[in-house]
Every structure is written in C-alpha cells, then in structure tokens.
Amino acid sequence: MTIIHFQFLSAILFSLGLYGVLARRSAVLILMSIELMLNAVNINLIGFVAFRGFGQEIQTFGQVLIIFVITIAAAELALAIAIILRIYRNKNSVNVDEMNILKG
C-alpha cells in the first residue's frame, strides 16, 4: 500500500464527482457530487500524511487539517441545502436547467 494507491483512488473519485457536477441535472445530486470531490481531496491528503514519512507531528497536523475540511464541508452543505430549499420554494423545481435568470 503506497501513496500511489491513494492518489489513484483520489483521482478516480474526483473525476466521478466532476462528471456528476457537470452532467447531472438535479441540484441535490450536484451537491452530492461535490461531496464526492471533497472526499477525494481528503483521501489524497490522508495518503500523503500517512505514507510520506513526515513524522508524528506533521501527521497529526494533517489529520487536524482534514477535520477542518470536513467541518467546512458540513457548513457548506448546510447552506447549500438551505439555498436549494429556498430555490425550490420559489421555482418549484430543483433542476438546474430551469435556473437561468443569470442569462445575459
């Protein structure tokens, strides 16, 4: 088990998430895809932290960093969901291709 395994996994997961974001129509699904991408980042990070031989201290720091990532992800999700609900209330839909009021 080496860093490369983690990196590969992370890359695949990230691409899947990216595909989800680009291709899906439901806002909730896009949100889920973003969560996937965040996870991909975390996997990459933990791979480096654990198997790069930084030593105890940096390893701890890396984990703390991931905790923060998760925290921020949670905060982001809460707000995003709130926004989606708000949009649903206004437009009666969560489909992103029905939302184009920013059209020029």
Partner 1 sequence: MISIDLILFFIASSLVVGGGFLVVTVKNIVYAAFALLVAMLGTAGIFLLAFADFLALVQILIYGGAVVVVILFALMLTRLEDFKGLTDNSQKPLAVLVSLTVLTIMLYAIVATAMPTSQGDAISMIDLGVSLFQDWAIPFEVASLVLLVALIGAVVLVRQDEEGR
Partner 2 sequence: MDLFLVNNLIWMLPLICVFAFLIIALFSQYIPTQGAIVSIGSIGIAFLIFIFVLIDFVNGGLLPIHSSFTWIDLGEWQISWGLLIDRISIVMIGLITFVAFLVQIYSVGYMKGDSRFGWYFAVHSLFAAAMLLLVLSDNLLLLYFAWELVGLGSYLLIGFWYEKKSAAEAAKKAFVTTRIGDVGLLIGIIILFKASGTFDISSIIHVAQEGGISNDVIFWSSLLIFLGAMGKSAQFPLHVWLPDAMEGPTPVSALIHAATMVAAGIYLVGRMFPLFELGPGILTIISIVGIVTFILAGAIALVMTDIKRVLAYSTISHLGLMMLSLGSFGAPAAFFHLVIHGFSKALLFLGAGSVMHGMHDQTEVELMGGLRKKMPITSITFLIGTLSLAGIVPLSGFFSKDEILISIWEYNPWFFPVTLFGVFLSSLYMIRLYCLIFLSSARSDYSEKAHESPRIMTYPLIILSVLAVFSGLLAFPSPITEWQGFAAFIDDHHKFHMVPWITAVSIVVAFSGAFLGWVIYGARKIEITAISKPFKFIYQLVSRKFLFDEIYSWIATKIVFTFARWLTVFDRVIVNDTGIDGVGNSTKKSADRLKYFQSGYLYNYSLVMVIGLFLMAIIWWVIE
Q: What part of residues 19-78 is at the interface with partner 2 (CB under 8 A)?
A: 21-24, 30
Looking at 16-24, 35-43, 52-60, 66-74, which segment touches partner 2 (CB under 8 A)? 16-24
CB 92 within 8 A of CB 98: no
Check binding of 26 to partner 1 (CB under 8 A): yes
Footprint (CB under 8 A) of partner 1, residues 47-76: 47-53, 55-56, 59-61, 63-64, 66-68, 70-72, 74-76
Among 97, 91, 94, CA closest to 81: 94
Residues 6+ apart with CB under 8 A from 80: 31, 34
- For partner 2, which is the closer residue by CB, 1 or 101? 101
CB of 34 closer than 8 Å to CB of 21: yes
